[in-house]
Amino acid sequence: MTDSTTIDERPGADEQLAELHESESLGAEGHGAHEPIKDRFLLPLLLPLLSMAAVALLAINVSRVLLAGDSDSALAIGITLLLTILVGASVISAMPRAKTSSLAVTLIVGIFVVAMAGLVALGPSLDDGEGGQANPNINVAGPANSTATVVAGPGLTFDGVAFDKNYDATGPIVEIDYTGASGHTLAFRDPKFDGFLLGTDAGAQKRGNVKIDPGAYAIYCTVPGHAAAGMEGTLTVAG
């Protein structure tokens, strides 16, 4: 009889051990009142919050990585990420008895890798956002030395003159005011003034200035066909 009681006690101790062990694993659901408070209240509350934080972190960092690369690398990263998530989910669901702690370690490592990638990509993605190199020859600060007033039209002309309308100006800073018929633009042929673009449409930039050396500069309407039909003129700058 004494033997049987000691034998009876052993499974009890084993059960407790097993329960302790199970509470650490994913498959420990449905134990009801036997579960520790940690599992019944803390985990259901913490898990959604942690997942939300992780998803936010992932979204921010992944978008940073995607912004930093060109469209090809963005596609490659996106596909890799999708495959990783799919494969990871299948592996996790294939071993439901996997320890919570090892899953947590895997998740933390994954989030850490994504966060590092985001930090590394932060520089390039910010550079892209700032627009990179601004042309120092256009829209400069300071008062203009003269203003050229250009009117689009009538027809495909500048101020009614096709092809050879001349505007005299004094540098080094020349402001150009552009008005007239809607549907026209004004730009310089000289690549020194790349990025300078005025327009007559509502909402378009109608005035701007250039920092310009003395000389004769071709100005034209960038709408296809307009310059060839006559919307091309000259800005002649005196020093």
Q: Which stretch binds Cu ion (CB under 5 A): 63-71, 96-104, 203-211, 227-235?
A: 227-235
| Nearest CB to Cu ion, comparing residues 92 and 151 | 151
- How many residues are there in the chain? 239
Least distance from C-beta 231 to Cu ion, angstroms? 5
Question: Rule CB under 5 A: is residue 221 a binding residue for Cu ion?
Answer: yes
| Nearest CB to Cu ion, comparing residues 117 and 204 | 204
| Nearest CB to Cu ion, comparing residues 61 and 200 | 200
Q: What angle do CA 216, 198, 145 make, to 5 degrees?
A: 50
- How many residues touch Cu ion under the rule CB under 5 A: the total is 5
Least distance from C-beta 189 to Cu ion, angstroms? 15
Site string for Cu ion, 152-191 (x = CB under 5 A): --------------------------------x-------
Comparing C-alpha atoms, which of 157, 27, 142 is closest to residue 96?
27
Least distance from C-beta 184 to Cu ion, angstroms? 3
Comparing C-alpha atoms, which of 35, 41, 40 is closest to residue 22?
35
Say if CB 165 and CB 233 are below 8 A apart: yes
Least distance from C-beta 164 to Cu ion, angstroms? 16
| Nearest CB to Cu ion, comparing residues 145 and 179 | 179
Say if CB 67 and CB 121 are below 8 A apart: yes
Binding residue (CB under 5 A) for Cu ion from 181, 223, 229, 234: 223
Comparing C-alpha atoms, which of 199, 221, 197 is closest to residue 210?
197
Binding residue (CB under 5 A) for Cu ion from 226, 230, 232, 235: 226
Least distance from C-beta 149 to Cu ion, angstroms? 17
Say if CB 204 and CB 179 are below 8 A apart: no
Cα–Cα distance for residue pair 224/156, rounded to 1 Å? 11
Q: What residue spans of the chain are helical by DSSP H?
A: 2-23, 37, 43-68, 71-94, 100-130, 226-229
List interacting residues with Cu ion (CB under 5 A): 184, 221, 223, 226, 231
